[in-house]
Amino acid sequence: MSATAASIDIESAVLEACRRAKVASRALATATRSTKDAALHAMADALVEHSARIVSANAEDVERGRENDMTPGLLDRLALTDERICGIAEALRFLAALPDPVGEVKRGSTLPNGMRLIQKATPMGVVGMIYEARPNVTVDAAGLALKSGNAAVLRGGSAAARSNEVIVDVLQGALQQVGLPRDAVQSIDAYGREGARVLMNARGLVDVLVPRGGRSLIQAVVRDSTVPAIETGEGNCHVYLDSSAPVARSVEIVVNSKTHRVGVCNAAETLLVHRDAAERVLPSVLAALHEEGVTLHADAAASALAPQGVPTVPATDEDWATEYLSLDIAVRVVDDLDEAIAHVQRYSTGHTEAIVTEDIGAAERFVSQLDTAAIMVNASTRFTDGAQFGLGAEIGISTQKLHARGPMGLAELTTTTWIAYGDGHIRA
Amino acid sequence: MSATAASIDIESAVLEACRRAKVASRALATATRSTKDAALHAMADALVEHSARIVSANAEDVERGRENDMTPGLLDRLALTDERICGIAEALRFLAALPDPVGEVKRGSTLPNGMRLIQKATPMGVVGMIYEARPNVTVDAAGLALKSGNAAVLRGGSAAARSNEVIVDVLQGALQQVGLPRDAVQSIDAYGREGARVLMNARGLVDVLVPRGGRSLIQAVVRDSTVPAIETGEGNCHVYLDSSAPVARSVEIVVNSKTHRVGVCNAAETLLVHRDAAERVLPSVLAALHEEGVTLHADAAASALAPQGVPTVPATDEDWATEYLSLDIAVRVVDDLDEAIAHVQRYSTGHTEAIVTEDIGAAERFVSQLDTAAIMVNASTRFTDGAQFGLGAEIGISTQKLHARGPMGLAELTTTTWIAYGDGHIRA
């Protein structure tokens, strides 16, 4: 078979999957909460019941990963155990306990002419997910889509293809068991990168695309997708210590923001310190970061305040723009709040920015002048998270401005429908 | 100068305009409602004051349009008079009277750990508009963007370039008068289609793109834009007369939906009638439509029920999919509600669908099974409109599902920011 014939086959197979998902989405859109929650519990039960089969398929993926020199970090994210499968199943039961986002009335009024108008949350239809080789995301995404009344077409990393194949089969069995269509959750892993490209362009069949992964995936989606996408982006998060920042609080918030978990998008990457506070707070903050193993990329003024035995390396312009995702932090002394705001405006990726201050006016200026998904006043950047914000579950953190910004939960997987009830009303 | 050099010049000029808009957007984002409303009134005053200059520039555009054989309809949309300018200015004063969408608290709670969390409406930043040769849209778009705290980069049709140039100059003068940056409203008409292409790809500088126009414009934006766009689409709207539909009400709603204004997206294009109601209601409905000059594209069953003297033409499959935007309607008799729903699901563009019924169960099924921006129960499709829905002003009607669906007002030109107030909170 020629390459072109193969690519036509992939195209028709993926479009057919999307078409079946579209048909299935109609049943999901009108499913009651009871049915959807029963499906989530059935999915959780089935995962636990078929745990051995899933672990064995996963072992093949892990073995192939090892052969292909996958890094230990990626191998760890890929690997499933009975215990991990129990945890993944628990997350589905937790989803079942959350309120149904579908049907929530967002706005409503009686119009001057007497018509009753409501704007109601309704499912998107078909959600496309493109993500990397983490089989737990397959279950999370299927569960979030189901609870919000959507069908899901999933494209996980090919490195997890065997795991995903078995997991999706198990989930489909559970759907069938409660009378919902199997096609409501489908995997297109078998169709590789070409399949992902078809998914990105299945306009009219796929209603929204949620890419979760590194910069290259997001950029490919932005460039190539004709299906509307919600970008989940990078976090070059800043902590700014204002002139009034107390020492102990500064140490705690900076250390927590930087080191609580380093590989995540809401970890701090740059520390800015007001000149008037630098001498008072920086020595303790730098010492505490060093203690935690953090490499300090400092400008001259910050470097001069590092205590003896706390080494620094010179910060370059590149450091201000870097999302390290590692035990590194860039440190700069700024002249005042304005310079701090200007720095953040220049380098922010619009994820999370934090200020430590006792000055209410400074806090308000920081909040009102920054253009970002989340702002923390006297709190760690690590709080930007669906679970922490009380959204229940999270499908990702959006750093763009359309539709969803910040942590995305179930509500963000819905759209709205306006319904107007008249009594023979016509326009004059 | 080579073509390539010219296109580099256009690129740098348009990007520079976007960059200046981005800087200006910061001043707008923190402007108080009083300042923004003062600007709107100053803009209205300035338009009236400079009316003669605008009308004279517009006359050049109209003259060029005539030479280029522009249709009378387009010429009429292009032409400005003192009276029309007064109307346009009035719309700005009306905007000033609307509540400020910025700062509205969308959600909020106190988290279990005591942090106070709010999600607040904030401006998008820079709004890009691409539209056709209607100079009133230049003013509307500038006003809507300003009221919602956004800077606007406008690309109107080149046929209105002289009018837009003078209008934007007048608006900029008014901004300056109240202390806001002139760069908050800019036109890039001078850079033609190539300029529009640069605008569509000014990712990071332009936060949202709102195309307003025909299918080819929308498709170009979907295909070529890397800036997130809100699609304002077509309306193949249906009216379905259920078995219980009363005759007089059916006539009124169908005639109003079809003929109240034919060239608009919320006009009805297809009429579906339940078999059990056909004999009772169709003769009167078809006669009334004929009376209004509507050409009836009917299936065999509907055609058989046309009264003497009411001609029909045979409906083809193409008719069901056509947005006529003219005095034409497709008419089909369906077996039951299910067949009506299946027909709408197949041909709907997701704009507005209407049902006429006395049966509450039928109404609920119609509402719950259709996937569309708006549904009218016993009312004309013509009500899907920002002003009719009480949104105050309208920037367009979205037929896509992300961010905004249905009429878009000021709220749809905002995004949100999460703000968390802690007291030294860190994650455990």
A195-205 pLDDT, tens digit per residue, is 999 999 999 89
Q: Does position B3 have pLDDT exceeding 80, yes or no?
A: no
Give the length of chain A.
428
**Over 50: is that where the pLDDT of B1 sits?**
no
Residue with structure tokens 């922010």?
A: A348
pLDDT attached to residue A222 = 81
Amino acid at site A417: T
Q: How far apart are the first and last CA of chain A?
A: 63
Q: Mutation test of the interface with chain A: which of B126, B148, B419, B423, choosing the one with the most A Cβ atoms within 10 A?
A: B419
Distant-in-sequence, close-in-space partners of B136: CB < 8 Å, separation ≥ 6: B80, B84, B88
Q: Higher-confidence residue: B228 or A19?
A: A19
Interchain proximity A418–B380, CB inside 8 Å: no
CA distance B408 to B387: 10
Greater confidence (B228 vs A357) lies with A357
What superfamily does domain B237-388 belong to in CATH?
A: Aldehyde Dehydrogenase; Chain A, domain 2 (3.40.309.10)
pLDDT at A219: 84
Token couple for B353: 């669908």
Q: Which of A417, A421, A423 would best serve as a mutation to test chain B binding (most B beta carbons within 10 A)?
A: A417
Q: Mean per-residue pLDDT for A394-412? A: 92
CA distance A5 to B109: 56
The C-alpha atoms of residue A36 and residue A178 are separated, in whole angstroms, by: 9
Per-residue pLDDT for B158 more than 90? no
Question: Does the pLDDT value for residue A155 go beyond 50?
Answer: yes
Nearest to A256 among B367, B421, B426 (CB): B426
Rounded to a whole number, what is the distance in Å from the CA of B251 to chain A's nearest CA?
Answer: 10
Q: How confident is the model at residue B174 (pLDDT cuts 50, 70, 90)?
A: very high
A224-229 contacts, C-beta under 8 A, 24 or more apart:
A224/A197, A224/A200, A225/A200, A225/A201, A226/A200, A226/A201, A226/B222, A226/B223, A227/A128, A227/A199, A227/A200, A227/A201, A227/A202, A227/A203, A228/B228, A228/B400, A228/B401, A228/B402, A229/A200
Q: Which of A269, A270, A211, A267 is nearest to A385 (CA)?
A: A267
pLDDT tens for each residue of A86-100: 999 999 999 999 999
Residue ranges of domains in chain A: 3-233+407-420, 237-388
Contact A410, A427 (CB under 8 A): no
pLDDT at site A58? 97
Residue A1: pLDDT band with limits 50, 70, 90: very low
Query: Which residue stretches of B178-274 are H helix?
Result: 192-200, 215-224, 247-259
Q: pLDDT tens digits, residue range A221-245? A: 888 888 988 888 789 999 999 999 9
Q: Do A383 and B425 touch (CB under 8 A)?
A: yes
Measured CA to CA, the distance from residue A73 to residue A57 in angstroms comes to 20
- Measured between CB atoms, which of A109, A417, A426 is closest to B253? A426
Q: Which of B336, B342, B366, B339 is nearest to B352 (CA)?
A: B366
Residue A419 with chain B: CB contacts under 8 Å: 367, 374-375, 377
Q: Do A416 and B403 make contact, defined as CB atoms within 8 angstroms?
A: no
Residues of A with CB below 8 A from B232's CB? none
Interface touch A402/B405, C-beta < 8 Å: no
Tell me how far apart the alpha carbons of residues B39 and B105 are, in angstroms, rounded to a whole number: 24
Each residue's pLDDT tens digit, B238-250: 999 999 999 999 9
A·B CB contacts under 8 A: 197
Residue of A nearest to B349 (CA): A204
CA A86 to chain CA mean position, Å? 22
Query: Are B221 and A228 spatial neighbours (Cβ–Cβ below 8 Å)?
Result: no
Q: Would you state the structure tokens that stand for residue A281, as one six-digit string?
A: 């707070």
Chain segment B330-383, per-residue pLDDT in tens: 999 999 999 999 999 999 999 999 999 999 999 999 999 999 999 999 999 999
CB of A399 closer than 8 Å to CB of A233? yes
Question: What is the C-alpha to C-alpha distance for residues B348 and B372, in angstroms, rounded to an integer?
Answer: 8
Percent share of chain A, pLDDT over 70: 99
**Per-residue pLDDT tens over the stretch B42-90:** 999 999 999 999 999 999 999 999 999 999 888 998 999 999 999 999 9
Q: Round to whole Å and give the CA distance between B246 and B285.
A: 11
Contact between A380 and B427 using a beta-carbon 8 Å cutoff: yes
For B393, residues 6+ apart whose C-beta sits below 8 A from its C-beta are B91, B94, B95, B98, B140, B143, B144, B147, B386, B387, B409, B410
Q: Which residues contact B309 (CB under 8 A, 6 or more apart)?
A: B290
Closest partner residue to A111 (CB to CB) among B368, B390, B419 is B390
Q: What is the pLDDT of residue A205?
A: 95
Helix B82-97 vs helix B33-49: crossing angle, to nearest 10: 170
Percent of chain A with pLDDT over 90: 86
CB atoms closer than 10 angstroms to residue A290: 17
Q: What is the dihedral of CA B105, B109, B114, B115, to 10 degrees?
A: -40
Q: A426, B30: Cβ pair inside 8 Å?
A: no
Contacts of B223 in chain A (CB under 8 A): 226
Rounded-to-5 percentages of helix, strand, coil across chain B? 50, 20, 30
Q: What's the whole-number average pLDDT of chain B?
A: 95
Beta strands in B261-365 (DSSP E): 268-274, 295-298, 313-314, 328-334, 352-356
Per-residue pLDDT at B380: 98
Residue B248 has a pLDDT of: 98
Q: Read off the pLDDT of residues B7-27 as tens digits, 9 standing for 90 and up.
A: 789 999 999 999 999 999 999
Asked whether residue A2 carries a pLDDT value surpassing 60, the answer given is no
CA B421 to chain centre: 38
Task: Dump pLDDT digits (tens) for B115-124.
Answer: 999 999 999 9
- How far, CA to CA in Å, does B82 sit from each of A346, B46, B172? 45, 13, 20
What pLDDT is stored for residue B2 in this prediction?
A: 56
B122 contacts A377? CB cut-off 8 A: no
**Residue A225 has which token pair?**
């997708």
Tokens of A282: 């920086």
CATH number of the domain at B3-233+407-420, out of 2.60.40.10, 3.40.605.10, 3.40.50.2300, 3.40.50.300?
3.40.605.10
What pLDDT digit, counting tens, does each position of B290-313 carry? 999 999 999 999 999 999 999 999
pLDDT at A357 over 80: yes
Indicate the residue of B222, B379, B416 with minimum beta-carbon distance to A405.
Answer: B416
As given in the structure block, the two tokens for residue A342 are 């200007």
User: How far does B64 lie from chain A, in Å, by closest CA?
Assistant: 36
Contacts of A228 in chain B (CB under 8 A): 228, 400-402
DSSP string across A165-231: HHHHHHHHHHHHHTT--GGGEEE-GGGHHHHHHHHHT-BTTB-EEEE-S-HHHHHHHHHH--S-B--
Residue of B111, B113, B249, B388 for testing the chain A interface, max A β-carbons within 10 Å: B388
Phi, psi of A53 (to 5 degrees): -65, -40
ipTM of the complex: 0.93
Query: What tens digit of pLDDT does each residue of B386-427 get?
Result: 989 988 778 889 998 999 999 999 999 999 999 999 999 999
Mutate to test the interface with A, among B19, B106, B426 (most CBs of A within 10 A): B426
- Minimum mean pLDDT among A126-135, A326-335, B36-45: which range? A126-135
User: What is the pLDDT confidence band of residue A390, given thresholds at 50, 70 and 90?
Assistant: confident
